[in-house]
Chain A
Amino acid sequence: MITNFPVQFDENGRLRHFLTIQGLSAETLITILDIAHSFIDFGKREIKKIPLMRGKTVVNLFFEPSTRTRTTFEIGAKRLSADVVNMNATRMSTTKGESILDTVKTLEAMHTDMFVVRDHESGSAQLIASHLPDYVRVINAGDGRHEHPTQAMLDMFTIRQQKQDFSKLRIAIVGDILHSRVARSQIHALNILGVREIRVIGPRTLIPTNIETLGVNYVNNMKDGLDNVDVVIMLRIQRERMDGQLIPSEQEYFARYGLTQKTLNFAKSDAIVMHPGPINRGLEISSRVADGSRSVILDQVTNGIAVRMSIMAHLMGG
């Protein structure tokens, strides 16, 4: 790997921001998963609050729309007793309007302790983190096509819930890897946790060149790609990619890469099915699989709260 993103660590090597999975150690990931585990039953309690972030202000700064990520961050922060402000901001690119850094500095001047940032440009969270004072924390809730590290952590948590030992696992990630920040973060996390094999499956137009430099194997079809895998991760196909430029048609795509009961049979009999959501039923996954017994898609959402609580608490020194 070229870079280890030192910006996310303080001078003692402690995690200051959560910007990328790339560059993190297995211990850090496991610590986050372990802490998340202690929060998992929390949501079922009568009083769902602990004071780990009491008196702290968290701003959810979303320059791109989001339902589940923003909501689970908000619920998580509130359960840690933080005060949460949601900003569904829009921004014009480049010179028009206020720059992204000016927006953030304005909010920082109101003594924000933590920013949860989502933006349509790769590198935005990194940019923001490197221009804020030491005591402010930044969590990347998705930057362009780059990373979505908290999503990857909740996916790791969900896999561990079902499968325990990472070192034995074969994982397949199916679909639009090229535009997917989720896939990049997942690939880093799975490699750091030492899985046996990661395969990426899809047409070449949706796979970045040099994908093997990320430590994965490319397979062009579901039969070979899903053979013997323990986990099938389906990625969302954006409808706008279906304009004949990257994929000829929905029919052709679904026939080759859609996950159905039939294609799922290529995987191990106990393989689980994951999807970061929102799902396109009938485009990348059939309803029967999405709602079936092997699907852990809703577990992912539930786990998102505990995992995000864990990451926030970890950054605040809890």
Chain B
Amino acid sequence: MDISIYNGHLIDPINGVNQITDIHISQNRIEAVGNPNENFKSEKMIDAKGQYIFPGIIDLCARLREPGEEHKATILSETRAAASAGITSLVCPPDTLPIIETPGMVHMIQNRANAAGYSDIYPLGALTVGLKGEKLTDMATLHDAGCVGVSNALEPVENSLLMRRAMQYASTYDIPVFMTSWDPWLQGNGVVHEGIISTQLGLPAIPEAAETVGIARDIALVETSGASAHINLISCARSVFRLMEARQRNLQISASVAIHNLLCSETDIGEFDTLYKVIPPLRTKQDQEGLIQGLANGDIAAICSDHQPHSLDSKLSPFSEAATGIAGLDTLLTLAWSLVKTHQLSAESVISALTANPARIIGIERGNLAVGMPADLLIFDDTFNWRLDEMTMMSNGRNSPWFGKELTGKVVLTIKDGQIVWEL
């Protein structure tokens, strides 16, 4: 269907667009921005006056629970939730059950996503067999099968020599290596940041050094292996300095941060509020500010949801035993845009971090609304007031600290490859 959207405020950072204009879609591609060819006749006209138009969001870290934990969520439920939040592409870590370490698994996940018809899923293949950190997987085969990168998910690769070899091998075939860089020994069985809250509540702590030591190692290994690497889920301001240095030395390293690490700090845990239990943990106010600064400077390239859907029951336990993670798809853009509203970040840097930058990291031609590009876009009403609740939350997960709260700003329409996949 050919669609024209009029009068929207289009922000398309990679093309330097930030203005009120019209955008036209023919089949699955962008036909024109501004005035179309005089022969173009749209079948559907949408008035986006007073609303924003952004490229479809690319989320670098979302767990969909399928295969393996379909009682929590499915590819259908979570890609639909993603579409309703303007997320048209999702990167899924390999720690599904079974693990993504065979081409068959890659195809199965992509087929499920295609059948659902909401958002594309770009799986990451396992870096080591069984994510055990002992043997390399057939990563070139996995890459050929459609994995946009390889990763050991949240499992550590303790053996630094093996990690170096994994990077060298991946670099042979230009396969990006995705990492969560932390030292497993310092990480220990910690559940909160080592700071005020861990001391006050007597909870096992994760020191800042767990991350800064991990990042220092991984950056050194990237430098000696020539790999292209992405460090997922940065949580400390000091890590941003390491990334800045790496960028200054022109290493191929990018990084992303989870939206909740930008918006929350350790003190939000208050009295053992398990909804704020995340790994890496919420750290200090200074870390929060440092991460925001890192986005503004470009040392951190992307904002992800780190979506981890759970039932609420799994959070009804003593803090250490409660499930980890936040179901973050539904609120990703709303919360990220709140940083624009409070003047902490520019609209361009937030939208780049959600679209063009993650597209570059996984090497896909998306996150870009130039003529001829795939028509993945969304319309965002930044004045729309809504409540995240049983009715509005589209993910099967209910574990969000924002559940039951009033929010401002919502995606009202999502187009994926020229098709309307969500309309409020």
Contact = CB atoms under 8 A, between A and B. Distances in A.
Interface of A: 1-3, 5-7, 22, 93-94, 99-101, 119, 121-124, 126-127, 131, 143-147, 181, 184, 208-211, 213-214
Contact of B319 (A93, A99, A121): A121
B196 A122 contact: no
Nearest to B322: A94
List of 8 A-B pairs having minimum Cβ-Cβ separation, nearest first: A145-B202, A121-B318, A123-B272, A146-B202, A208-B199, A122-B202, A124-B318, A123-B319
Contacts of A2: 196-197, 200, 267, 270
A145 B317 contact: no
Contacts of A99: 313, 316-317
A145 B199 CA distance: 9
19 contacts: A2-B197, A2-B267, A3-B270, A3-B271, A99-B313, A101-B317, A122-B203, A122-B318, A123-B272, A124-B318, A126-B271, A143-B318, A184-B200, A184-B202, A208-B205, A209-B199, A210-B199, A213-B196, A214-B200
A213 B318 CA distance: 24
Given A3-B271, A7-B271, A144-B202, A127 B318 contact: yes
A131 B402 CA distance: 20
B191 to A, nearest CB: 9
B318 A131 contact: no
Contacts of B267: 2
Interface string B301-337: 0000000000001001111110000000000000000
Nearest to A130: B271
Most buried by A among B198, B201, B205: B201
A-side interface mostly = loop
Given A1-B200, A5-B271, A127-B272, A94 B194 contact: no
* Interface range, B side: 20 to 34
A100 B272 CA distance: 15
Given A94-B317, A123-B319, A210-B199, 17 more contacts: A2-B197, A3-B270, A6-B271, A7-B271, A99-B317, A101-B316, A121-B320, A122-B203, A127-B317, A144-B320, A147-B202, A209-B194, A209-B199, A213-B199, A213-B200, A214-B199, A214-B200
Interface of B: 194-203, 205, 207, 267, 270-272, 313, 316-321
A2 B201 CA distance: 10
B319 A122 contact: yes
A14 to B, nearest CB: 18
Contacts of B199: 208-211, 213-214
Contact of A94 (B196, B198, B207, B321): B321
Contacts of A7: 271
Contacts of B321: 93-94, 121
B399 to A, nearest CB: 15
Contacts of B270: 2-3
A122 B277 CA distance: 14
A129 to B, nearest CB: 10
Contacts of B316: 99, 101, 127, 131
B200 A123 contact: no
Contacts of A119: 318
Nearest to A6: B271
A101 B203 CA distance: 20
Nearest to A23: B271
A7 B271 CA distance: 9
B318 A145 contact: no
Contacts of B196: 2, 210, 213
